Chain A
Amino acid sequence: MSEIISSDNLRKLAAEWIEQGVRVAAPQHAGGRVLYLPLKNSADLLLDAFIHPANSAKEFLFPKSETLYAYRVEGQDVKLVEAPGTETPQVLLGVRPCDAAAFPILDHIFNWDCADELYNRRRRNTTIVVLACSAHDANCFCTSVGLGPASERGADVLLVPLTNDTFEVRSVTEKGRSLFAGKTQTDNVAAMAAAGPEPRFAPDAVRKFSAANFEHPIWGEHALACVGCGACAHTCPTCHCFDIVDEHGERVRNWDSCQFSLFTLHASGHNPRPDQGSRQRQRILHKFSIYPDKFGEILCTGCGNCTRNCPAGLGVLPLLIAIEHEEHLPA
């Protein structure tokens, strides 16, 4: 037995949520691109004909810019003002499996040793409705990192396309079940997940190589084309680096990236990562060796956004393929 919903009813449901004051974010057309954006009108909800939005869904749990707290300077005294913070429920609707899978991965960093309440509060109040992929492009590599077009990792509900305008609704968590309770029809057909991309590399080989070859020409060679723009990190579902700065009476955290030259610059002027090669190395090492060693998971979900959005056509995939090739060369 399976639960089914038509795209019309899904739109109606989204409209109901919006009506109830739930914040809904979903893929939509925007200026010639597809982006995850706050959904104002359920007619704008995009349910097919896109591979992956140009951004990632992480910004709805970990915003680009977020006030940590505010302050008022009164003479020699200072008054701290807590960030308003919100308990408003949120639904991320139609997110790709590679975006959803990033949240359980990000949970580690925001909670090891001490808990980041700003992130956790949003996480608690968010329900994640994943839309399985029916197609992939040359940049997708979810199957190389243990995921796939219908992966349930991080999902509360998984929608799998059944026909042109119906979806099978697979509830993964209690939160997801209650969101769709009474909104589906029962049927005895089951949706077939699409085949994903062929695996492109083995993460273990990358981990082995990158942990053992801190000094290696491959880093510099691959970084030659990199302009250090950080687009890869900013559109990555798992990158989570941030800066803390003062802006207009507030202390704010803004996304940052290890691809920027100022990222590790010491006050003395010394920079342990003085060139783009050492910054690309950090990116691969962090994702495939450092994070897995610490938290038992690869910091990458294979979405391909880093390559899709890179002005130089880089991103991690070409480097990962080259590394695996290098690792298998006879010594």
Chain B
Amino acid sequence: MKNIYQPDLMEVAAVQRHTADVKSVKVRFRDADCAQQFQFRVGQFGIFSSFGYGESVFNICSSSTWSDGLEFCFRKTGRVTEALWEIEEGDTIGFRGPYGNGYPVEAWKGKNLIFLGGGIAMPPIRCAIWYALENRADYGDITIVYGARTVADLVYVNELAEWSKRERVRVIQCVDPGGETPNWTGEIGFVPTVFERAQVAAENSVALVIGPPIMIKNTMPVLDRMGLPRASVYTSLENRMKCGVGKCGRCNCGPVYVCKEGPVFTMEELAALPQDY
């Protein structure tokens, strides 16, 4: 029987540096059968490992419609991510997953999609954006509001530019006051304020809001004022995890094991849970 903790080996196909402390990595399974069988849903996560340093949890930030390997994007913050920072093309990393529930992209069909992200929250949103773009006929208008502290902290800037050229896609970028450069053409302000100014219609919409707790907290009143029901607002929790398979006891938020029953929840579901995230 399979050892559920043993990873599959993946070869690094490409590394892209986004900011002073954020990189994204594209990896492919070393084993052809693994590559063939692998499937996931956007919004799921994986446990990636640097051998000799340990494991870390990252969202799979590529779209499930892409068949060539998968991508993750991470911020350098500690032991494992510092080791991953050094990896190069051809290196081997470990991968376990996919884990978690993912976004209900089927239920979102026919809806307008609102994506609100702050800082390093772009990767978990990016997979959903690409998924929607590749199934364009299934979804209505797409609004993306993405902000970071400074211009230098924005990630996936090339793709933001590319998305803005697509049909029925509106991209609004913003940086915190003082974070702009002289030639900055985006908005200045915090995500919730900039989003409210953009006057997006709530009708027949769902929103995916991911970012630091303070951004989510300040975005909720805006969504409430717009009249978007909390059952239509989704987020992804970042409770600390080790096993990803409901055993290590670390990720629970009240009665819910975030690694298995999450990490994606509606704000209505979260309101019913204790403040344990």
Q: Are B4 and A114 in touch, CB under 8 angstroms?
A: yes
Query: Taking the complex as formed, is A208 at the interface, i.e. its CB lies under 8 A from any CB of chain B?
Result: no
CB distance from B83 to the nearest CB of A (A): 10
With beta carbons under 8 angstroms apart, the residue of B6, B252, B277 that contacts A290 is: B252
Q: Are B92 and A115 in touch, CB under 8 angstroms?
A: no
CB distance from A27 to the nearest CB of B (A): 27
CB distance from B194 to the nearest CB of A (A): 22
With beta carbons under 8 angstroms apart, the residue of B1, B75, B276 that contacts A272 is: B276
CB distance from B253 to the nearest CB of A (A): 8
With beta carbons under 8 angstroms apart, the residue of A69, A73, A110, A270 that contacts B6 is: A69
Contacts of A244 in B (CB 8 A): 5, 54-55, 242-243, 248
Q: Are A246 and B51 in touch, CB under 8 angstroms?
A: yes
- Most B CB contacts (10 A, CB to CB) among A78, A110, A114, A266 go to A78
Q: Are B245 and A78 in touch, CB under 8 angstroms?
A: no
Query: Taking the complex as formed, is A240 at the interface, i.e. its CB lies under 8 A from any CB of chain B?
Result: yes
Per-residue CB contact flags for chain B residues 203-215 toward chain A (1 = under 8 Å, else 0) read: 0000000001100
Q: Are A246 and B274 in touch, CB under 8 angstroms?
A: no
Q: Are A273 and B52 in touch, CB under 8 angstroms?
A: no
**Interface residues of chain B: helix, strand, loop or mixed (majority):** loop
Q: Which of A226-282 contact B (CB under 8 A)?
A: 240-246, 249, 251, 253, 256, 258, 263-268, 270, 272-273, 282
Q: Are A110 and B242 in touch, CB under 8 angstroms?
A: no
Contacts of A286 in B (CB 8 A): 249, 252
Q: Are B3 and A83 in touch, CB under 8 angstroms?
A: yes
Per-residue CB contact flags for chain B residues 71-90 toward chain A (1 = under 8 Å, else 0) read: 00001011001000000001
Q: Chain B: interface residue count, which band? A: 35 or more
Query: Taking the complex as formed, is B222 at the interface, i.e. its CB lies under 8 A from any CB of chain A?
Result: no
Q: A253-B5, A265-B240, A272-B239 are in contact. Are A109 and B247 (CB under 8 A)?
A: yes
Contacts of B249 in A (CB 8 A): 109, 240-242, 256, 258, 286
Q: Are B92 and A117 in touch, CB under 8 angstroms?
A: no
Query: Taking the complex as formed, is A187 at the interface, i.e. its CB lies under 8 A from any CB of chain B?
Result: no
Q: How far is the CA of A243 from the CA of B6 in the complex (A)?
A: 15
Q: Are A290 and B3 in touch, CB under 8 angstroms?
A: no
Q: How far is the CA of A282 from the CA of B274 in the complex (A)?
A: 11
Query: Taking the complex as formed, is B38 at the interface, i.e. its CB lies under 8 A from any CB of chain A?
Result: no
CB distance from A101 to the nearest CB of B (A): 19
Q: How far is the CA of A117 from the CA of B242 in the complex (A)?
A: 17
Q: Are A266 and B238 in touch, CB under 8 angstroms?
A: yes
Total interface residues on A, CB under 8 Å, equals: 48
Contacts of B75 in A (CB 8 A): 267
Q: Which of B19-56 contact A (CB under 8 A)?
A: 49, 51-55
Q: Which of B187-214 contact A (CB under 8 A)?
A: 212-213
In chain B, what residue has the closest Cβ to A73?
B51
Query: Taking the complex as formed, is B2 at the interface, i.e. its CB lies under 8 A from any CB of chain A?
Result: yes
Contacts of A241 in B (CB 8 A): 248-250
Contacts of B248 in A (CB 8 A): 241-244, 253, 256
Q: How far is the CA of A267 from the CA of B121 in the complex (A)?
A: 13
In chain A, what residue has the closest Cβ to B93?
A78
Q: A78-B94, A240-B247 are in contact. Are A290 and B254 (CB under 8 A)?
A: yes
Contacts of B7 in A (CB 8 A): 80
Query: Taking the complex as formed, is B275 at the interface, i.e. its CB lies under 8 A from any CB of chain A?
Result: yes
Q: Are A242 and B243 in touch, CB under 8 angstroms?
A: yes
Q: How far is the CA of A59 from the CA of B54 in the complex (A)?
A: 24
With beta carbons under 8 angstroms apart, the residue of A78, A83, A253, A264 that contacts B240 is: A264
Q: What are 10 A-B pairs at a CB distance below 8 A?
A: A76-B92, A78-B94, A116-B4, A241-B250, A242-B248, A244-B248, A245-B54, A264-B239, A270-B213, A285-B254
Chain B positions near chain A (C-beta within 8 angstroms)? 1-7, 9, 49, 51-55, 75, 77-78, 81, 90-92, 94, 212-213, 238-240, 242-243, 245-250, 252-255, 260, 274-277
Cβ-closest 9 pairs across A and B: A241-B249, A214-B274, A78-B92, A68-B5, A117-B1, A246-B54, A76-B90, A267-B77, A290-B255
